[in-house]
Amino acid sequence: MQTQELIPHLFRTEYSKIISVLCRRFGFDQMETAEDIASDTFLTAAQAWSYKGIPSNPTAWLYNVAKNKAKNHLQRNTIFESKVSPEIKTDDAYEQDIDLSPKNITDSQLQMMFAICHPAIQPEAQIGLSLRILCGFGIDEVAEAFLASKETINKRLFRAKEKIRNENIKIEMPDLAEMDNRLENVLTTIYLLFSEGYYSVSQNQVLRKDLCFEAMRLCHMLIENESTNKPPVNALLSLMYFHASRFEARTDQNGGLILYDDQDTNLWNQDLVAKGAWYLNQATTGNRLSKYHLEASIAYWHTQKTDTKEKWENILQLYNRLLQIAYSPVAALNRTFALAKANSPREAIIEAEKLQLTGNQFYYTLLGELYTGIDNKQAKFNFQNALTLIKTPADTAIIQSKIDKLQD
């Protein structure tokens, strides 16, 4: 790999490790310092490698430079503080302080994950911070993922860091008693991160997939750690694998969305389906049925190519249970679609109209679909309502083609 390719690659994988270790050592109040040192390390690498060539072990090189920069920072601080406290540490003491061993990196990253996913921080800021700190995304990439300006993202991250300082959030693992609750917050953020990629408004396909795979990587980290390897974590990973299996099938060459019913099932990735099934199996220990268990089971049925009544009856019953423990408009609409497939479209129309999700484009799209063939005038009316709420040209094209087919 050439320097110009290698550095972004390493940045993605190593930046978050360096930051996590440094933040844990310095404390959250010096997060900016940790970020500066990490960024500075990569700048040094870019300069040095371009004329000296790439070192034989680039990662070790980066850690070494980061460690030296951190030591310098600590020393400078100590010299300043030593006017108050005469105790001066030896160079060796700093050497042990900045611990970039694999174990400490993993521990620091896990602790950082819990700190960022603290309930006191807004969900949007949690995702932004996760992308920046845990996944090593550049500000440009975070901005593109959110379709927001760099200024907006910088402000959002700044406010989130301020919040972390004000709330005095510690970089540490939660107590065992608190673990399940805090883990739930972490899972919510990971799932939001995944959804941000999966349903993103951004047209950048590579970036969107990166987001999804990063969410899965964070979930993998939780599973590899004994205290966080819990059934809901496995269920969430399973769910993400099932969704990811349709990556190639769900968009066309121009980035337009291909709906589930119209996808080429040969493009569904069976390796990812098998991985999803494996983690779903891992999730069946314990006696608590989380929403991720139900969503993963629903996603499992969606990986089945046959369009049978049995499939839709299973999906319907899973949605019936999911809605009882975790209502969401999207689940309500999907449940109604399953009802049409398992029972009848006429029954589903009655149920759909009770939902009254009149601000939601998918509510009208669903009604349009259900009325198609039963009452085309009503179908057209609903599709047109959907058009007024739609935000992307790709979605507009899909709905417009549905209306055109009605007029045939």
Partner 1 sequence: MDEFVLIFRHEDGNKVASPEQIQIWMKQTMDWIGGIAAQNKFVSGTGLPFADAKIVGHGGVVTNGPFGEIKETIGGFITVKADSVEEAVEFAKGCPVLQGDGNTVEVRKIAKNDGVH
Shortest Å distance, C-beta 328 to partner 1: 9
Q: What is the DSSP string of 30-64?
A: GHHHHHHHHHHHHHHHHHHHHHH---SSHHHHHHH
- Integer-rounded Cα Rg, in Å, for the chain is 25
Q: How far is residue 153 from each of residues 35, 147, 150, 156, measured CA to CA in Å? A: 16, 10, 5, 5
316 binds partner 1 (CB under 8 A): yes
Shortest Å distance, C-beta 326 to partner 1: 10
319 binds partner 1 (CB under 8 A): yes
324 binds partner 1 (CB under 8 A): yes
Q: How far apart are CA 334 and CA 340, in angstroms?
A: 10
Q: How far apart are CA 103 and CA 107, in angstroms?
A: 6
Shortest Å distance, C-beta 378 to partner 1: 20
CB 273 within 8 A of CB 241: yes
CB 365 within 8 A of CB 357: no
Shortest Å distance, C-beta 89 to partner 1: 58
323 binds partner 1 (CB under 8 A): yes
Q: Tell me the site size for partner 1, rule CB under 8 A.
A: 18
289 binds partner 1 (CB under 8 A): no
Return the DSSP state at 390. Answer: -
Q: How far is residue 119 from each of residues 126, 128, 308, 343, measured CA to CA in Å? A: 9, 15, 42, 41
Shortest Å distance, C-beta 195 to partner 1: 20
When the beta carbons of 26 and 319 are compared against partner 1, the nearer one is: 319
Options 339, 340, 386, 398; binder of partner 1; rule CB under 8 A: 339
What three-state secondary structure class fits 257?
strand
Options 304, 317, 361, 384; binder of partner 1; rule CB under 8 A: 317
331 binds partner 1 (CB under 8 A): yes
Q: How far apart are CA 351 and CA 337, in angstroms?
A: 10
Hey, which residues between 63 and 102 contact partner 1 (CB under 8 A)? none
Options 20, 228, 336, 382; binder of partner 1; rule CB under 8 A: 336
Return the DSSP state at 351. Answer: H
When the beta carbons of 13 and 308 are compared against partner 1, the nearer one is: 308
Shortest Å distance, C-beta 310 to partner 1: 13
Q: How far is residue 27 from each of residues 70, 85, 362, measured CA to CA in Å? A: 13, 20, 45
297 binds partner 1 (CB under 8 A): no
Shortest Å distance, C-beta 158 to partner 1: 35
332 binds partner 1 (CB under 8 A): yes
User: Residue 204, exposed/middle/buried by CB under 10 A (0-12, 13-18, 19+)?
Assistant: middle
370 binds partner 1 (CB under 8 A): no
When the beta carbons of 343 and 376 are compared against partner 1, the nearer one is: 343
When the beta carbons of 250 and 311 are compared against partner 1, the nearer one is: 311
327 binds partner 1 (CB under 8 A): yes
When the beta carbons of 323 and 387 are compared against partner 1, the nearer one is: 323
Shortest Å distance, C-beta 312 to partner 1: 12
Q: How far apart are CA 109 and CA 107, in angstroms?
A: 5
Options 320, 344, 392, 396; binder of partner 1; rule CB under 8 A: 320
Options 207, 221, 258, 355; binder of partner 1; rule CB under 8 A: 355
When the beta carbons of 243 and 335 are compared against partner 1, the nearer one is: 335
400 binds partner 1 (CB under 8 A): no
CB 207 within 8 A of CB 144: yes
Which single residue is written with the structure tokens 């500066």?
A: 36
Q: How far apart are CA 187 and CA 163, in angstroms?
A: 21
CB 128 within 8 A of CB 160: yes
293 binds partner 1 (CB under 8 A): no
In the complex, the residues that contact partner 1 under the rule CB under 8 A are 313, 316-317, 319-321, 323-324, 327, 331-332, 335-336, 339, 343, 351, 354-355
